[in-house]
A and B are shown apart, each in its own frame.
Chain A
């Protein structure tokens, strides 16, 4: 039985941000598969993280119970989302923060741009955030003449390389150390402190170059932009997890902090973090705990940013929420465990998916956020092996959802067929021909030519496109050598002559 889908809900708009694949997955995947370096890097990365994750998950005696609780808490959030959002807004506001609402990427970009301008800044430092990549914030800020500096090491590599991220957790995994050294030497000087000329390709030296380059930016920046991993509705607390300390720098040093957060990132109560702060680091980096987690509630007098803005983003999330069989994709906490176990992702990498959300979760999230017709190939970018479901810390049944979305793709195509398809083009030209006796007669005579296509079996086995779609799987009957109308007219003429 199919449940009704609320089709009228606005999806993420096209033309802004990065949720839509510019070309179908199979085509992009073919290119990725030809890149041997990429495949080696991916195999090493996914294999290493898989093993680390398995070890630290094994260590916890109550992993299954935590996972079940994580799923249940997120379902509770989704079922009461309107109430929790209002509660969060009240709490953040009461503690000195300002809450903004954005229907979509365009509106969120405008809000953030206006806030940066109001702060009198022409550059900002950024913490790695999926939400701001999703809405194309850096591009929008650049258009407004505001420079946005990515401060996560991998994001810095991606940004300086004029490139795009290929993994949620390790976005520059498609680059090797030699490439990174080259990028740093070539690009750093143009945007700030140059890399030392004797820079080697040792990861330690490369990290040190990034540290020095970015430290100057941190100490000078007046505005920071972050995402959020969690927001506690009952207390207004926001949480960002990270490894390098760039997050802490951004969340602590600048005077103004702007956080862009998808509306699904809530948890109802403070104690709910006890579940997610165990699930997320073990699933994500395979660590017992990530090096740094920052939590703040509104504005803390004399400590950290003295102006705090929270932008709540829809951008296709309510469209996802509207499908009861697809909404649990919104449980996702962006750990990327499903990427690392996926046999398809391991071979193609993240770029092939086109969206900022790659891998199995991207294959169910992106098409729902954009509407399935805009990412129609993604639900097929899977072998349905089920590994993604097994590792998902919030138990999203991705394989089942992929099957459901495939049926939605087919359904949507059928509905879209009201616009002319080859089949319909044929049908409507047939109607035009049949409206006029002269046209009709002419067409029937022309059809006699079709006999030339027929073989000795008296059947047409292949027609030129678009009619080949029909003859690809079946034969067309041969048109008669003389149409009935011709036969009748000839017979009438003969009768008149004889009478």
Chain B
């Protein structure tokens, strides 16, 4: 008997004669419930949670987003920035001279990414209650490695992408796409439970929230 057949046979033998379990009661807050938070309150909750994770946050508007990106990059002194293929929010392709956007075609190697000053991406969804930004390799986000290797991740979130809870976010996401859920910068508490930001992922996460 193959291992597959044997493990399945063991499972069936172990379960033989058991009663079916009761159905799952989804009495928690689901995606179907009417939202309890909206508009500015929702965005403020997201900002509060991001700041709590020690992410940097800038508020902006769709019209001003390019200027805000330039301001963030300039303040940080970041000159060479990776960007994903695809449509970035309007205006991001007209950055000021002196800042070089490095496209991912042909695909950047991890070593090349390691040599850049940061990465600029959009996102798929942001969850206010948990301060989470979800990337799903869609337009303006690119391959997972882009937002991983550079030490600085600048991400643009639009108000329409912000949802209140985890269930609402999952309902918007497609499981067939690779996903990275990001809640603050990389962190560890492995040494005497002292929190240290920045181990392997970007040590600085900066969020531009456009409304």
Contacts and interface: CB of A to CB of B under 8 A. Distances in A.
A and B: interacting chains: yes
A44 B7 contact: no
Nearest to A76: B21
28 contacts: A9-B13, A44-B192, A68-B27, A82-B11, A153-B188, A153-B191, A154-B188, A203-B191, A219-B110, A237-B175, A244-B186, A251-B144, A252-B145, A252-B148, A270-B170, A271-B31, A271-B171, A274-B30, A291-B183, A291-B185, A292-B180, A294-B180, A312-B7, A314-B7, A318-B13, A319-B14, A322-B13, A322-B14
Interface string A444-467: 000000000000000000000000
Contacts of B188: 153-154, 207, 243-244
B167 A271 contact: yes
B132 A289 contact: yes
Interface in A293-309: 293-297, 300, 302-304
A177 B31 CA distance: 45
Interface stretch (B62-70, B74-82, B195-203): B195-203
B201 A245 contact: yes
B190 A278 contact: no
Interface string B103-133: 0000100110010000000000001011110
A2 B145 CA distance: 54
A153 B195 CA distance: 12
A206 B191 contact: yes
Contacts of B28: 62, 65-66, 69, 275
A81 B3 contact: no
Interface string A190-218: 00000000000001101100110011001
Interface residues of B, number: 71
A318 B166 contact: no
Closest 6 CB pairs of A and B: A245-B201, A245-B200, A318-B10, A322-B14, A293-B181, A244-B199
A280 to B, nearest CB: 11
A373 interface: no
A75 interface: yes
B114 to A, nearest CB: 7
A153 B187 CA distance: 10
Given A219-B110, A232-B175, A295-B179, A324 B18 contact: yes
Contacts of B137: 300, 303
Interface of B: 2-4, 6-8, 10-15, 18, 20-31, 49, 53, 107, 110-111, 114, 127, 129-132, 137, 143-145, 148, 166-167, 170-171, 175-194, 196, 198-202
A403 interface: no
A271 B28 CA distance: 13
B180 A79 contact: no
Contact of B10 (A10, A246, A249, A294): A10
A438 B94 CA distance: 111
